[in-house]
A and B are shown apart, each in its own frame.
Chain A
Amino acid sequence: MSESDATNARVSTLTQIGIITKYNFLNYFRARRFYVMLAIVLIISLLLTVAVAYYQPFEFVGGTALGFYGAGWGSFASFVVILSTAFFGGDAISSEFQNRTGYFLVPNPIRRSAIYIGKWLAALIASSIILGAFALIMIGNGLYYFPGTIPWGFVESLAFAWLYLIAALSLAFAFSSLFKSSSISILMSVILLLFVFSVVDTVSSIVIGIEPWYSITYGAGIVTNILMDPFPAHMTTTKVGPRFTFTSFNATVPEGLAILLAYFVIMAVLGLWLFEKKEFTS
């Protein structure tokens, strides 16, 4: 190795975050899982397009563009968010331990927080592309059946879905920092977001009668509810028989936004702290 002709410059943490984002996104973009996820979204979109074209269910959706987007985008946006989160965030940190890539990256003049944030941003970009692809196909369908109309409710729903993606990725990264096994951290993210939170929402509101304000999926309900006209009531009590009453809750928009933002912040801090503390032991 020849002597260097120039001395190395000090690199700011912000610049290092950008470097980690760039190369992690490159790694995501070339990996099979990116194209598997894209294929899943394309299949969902294709099935929806074919089903709408064949059955023409416009009466079912109220004959409005908002109802149309509610049935298509509203039904699957959260599912796409959860799947993208699991694919790109589920093992983002745990793989650094299990696959030993952390041994290449961590022993360098770079803070662990820069690695964590850079990886999170790369996962967000990859997931946003997937969510964006789904949104574009839905918009294409919507414009075909309702020319010149993109309801404001859909734009809001898209923004809420993106915020849900941000919060869910934050949660997945925190779990990814907790475990050293990639498969366990991915599985935990999927089980939590797809089943556990939904069950907790139902049990909390219907059985116990407490609003599940602590649940991310409850907050994410605004992604679908904003596409309903009118927006669902915050609390609905239904009497079943002479003795039982069931209560159901829907997060209001400010409440939903607050829950999602709180998840993003709390899980980001928790995940970062876990990653900072975690040791690379064999």
Chain B
Amino acid sequence: MTKKFGSFTAVSDLNLKIQGTKCVGFLGPNGAGKTTTMKMFTGLISTSSGNALINGVDVKKDKKAALASCATLIETPEIYPALTPKEAMSMLCEIRGVPKSERNKRIDEALAQVKMQEWETKKVGSFSKGMKQRVNVASTLLSDPEVIILDEPSTGLDPRGMSEVRDIVKSLGNRLVFMSSHLLAEVTEVCQEVALIDHGKLLVYDTIENVTSKFAGKGNAVEVRFARDVDQAVSGRLGSIAGVQSVTKLNERQVRIKYDSSVTSQQSLFEQVAGLKVGALSLDAASGLEEAYLSLIKETL
């Protein structure tokens, strides 16, 4: 599908088919066309050409049928300020045909998941941006949807809120989740596949493992944090681990280790770094996707 705003092409011949039950991360720089794509899938804007289909139904032709089993969170929606979260969510339940006997239970469960149950009878107008976004996230869970479209769901949330949203997305295992995010660590943690878009064009759509191995240089990379300063001796010992290609010091207590792409090597690396007893605190595996991302985006500039 293509979306043009006057002479500017925001999305260009995007052809992306996602199916199954999994989480797909939708990545790209600012202005790449991520939100525009998601808006076309939710009827907020229409395609200039092509079709956005959900479960085979064209959103442009029959939005009501297309979104019947799809919940969405696009950007940071506002809720009518004089309504309470419970009322706003009741409205969505009624619109979506959630059985009356189920409504209160589902609303209570959804609000509990985002830790907003004690605010359920307060007017939304008095809420902070983060609190509103929690209600928005909860609203996507109400109708037990098959497909969930999330556009940067962590926006406006504090670190705890972000972590909770990640946990919620991870718990949606039996659904298809299509989620855009700038947080590569978040995507790595919750998604199995990624689609990368830039200048309105799809660059790649594959599993994170494949994208990382294909585009993150010659090998994967991890960032390791230490409890004490990393000296030459420690760097040397890290470099001598089998499969390690290079060790780069990021700061006094953090290094980036590049290693070859096999999963076995990653397991071995984790065990061996811990086995060195040099004060390793954490190992962040997100950098592989970051490298792939930077490599792909750089290539399109």
Contact = CB atoms under 8 A, between A and B. Distances in A.
A19 interface: yes
Given A103-B77, A104-B139, A8 B98 contact: yes
Interface string B84-105: 0001100110111111011000
Nearest to B145: A8
Main secondary structure of the interface of A (DSSP, over half): loop
Interface in A66-88: none
A5 B76 CA distance: 30
B110 A1 contact: yes
Nearest to A23: B91
B281 interface: no
Contact of B46 (A10, A11, A279): A279
Nearest to A3: B144
Interface in B171-195: 171-172
B64 A110 contact: yes
Nearest to B64: A109
Interface string B34-61: 0100010011111000000000000000
B83 interface: yes
A106 B46 CA distance: 13
Contacts of A110: 63-64, 95
Nearest to B102: A6
B64 A111 contact: yes
Given A8-B143, A106-B43, A107-B67, A27 B96 contact: no
Contact of A9 (B5, B92, B97, B113): B97
B211 to A, nearest CB: 28
What is the interface residue range for chain A against chain B?
Answer: 35 or more
A19 B144 contact: no
B96 A11 contact: yes
A5 B82 CA distance: 31
A1 B110 CA distance: 7
Given A1-B141, A20-B91, A107-B43, 8 more contacts: A4-B102, A13-B64, A16-B95, A26-B87, A100-B78, A102-B44, A102-B77, A110-B95
B294 to A, nearest CB: 26
A236 interface: no
A102 B68 CA distance: 18
B144 A4 contact: yes
A91 to B, nearest CB: 13
A102 B44 CA distance: 9
A31 interface: yes
A214 interface: no
Contact of A109 (B96, B113, B139, B141): B96
A221 to B, nearest CB: 36
A28 B39 CA distance: 28
A104 B136 contact: yes
Interface in A1-58: 1-6, 8-11, 13, 16, 19-20, 23-24, 26-31
Contacts of B141: 1
18 contacts: A1-B106, A1-B141, A4-B102, A4-B144, A8-B97, A23-B80, A23-B88, A23-B91, A26-B83, A30-B82, A101-B79, A102-B77, A103-B75, A107-B42, A107-B43, A108-B72, A110-B95, A282-B75
B134 to A, nearest CB: 13
A104 B75 contact: no
B284 to A, nearest CB: 29
A204 to B, nearest CB: 38
Contacts of A10: 68, 97
Contacts of B76: 100, 103
Contacts of B97: 8-11
Of residues B80, B91, B96, which shows the largest number of chain A Cβ atoms within 10 Å of its Cβ? B80
Nearest to B5: A281
Contacts of B99: 6, 8-9
B227 interface: no
B65 A109 contact: yes
B291 interface: no
Contacts of A279: 39, 44-46
Contact of A281 (B42, B45, B82): B45
B133 to A, nearest CB: 11
A122 to B, nearest CB: 11
A104 B77 contact: yes
Contact of A104 (B79, B102, B110): B79
A63 to B, nearest CB: 47
A9 B95 CA distance: 10
A106 B44 contact: yes
The 3 closest A-B pairs by CB, nearest first: A103-B77, A107-B42, A30-B82
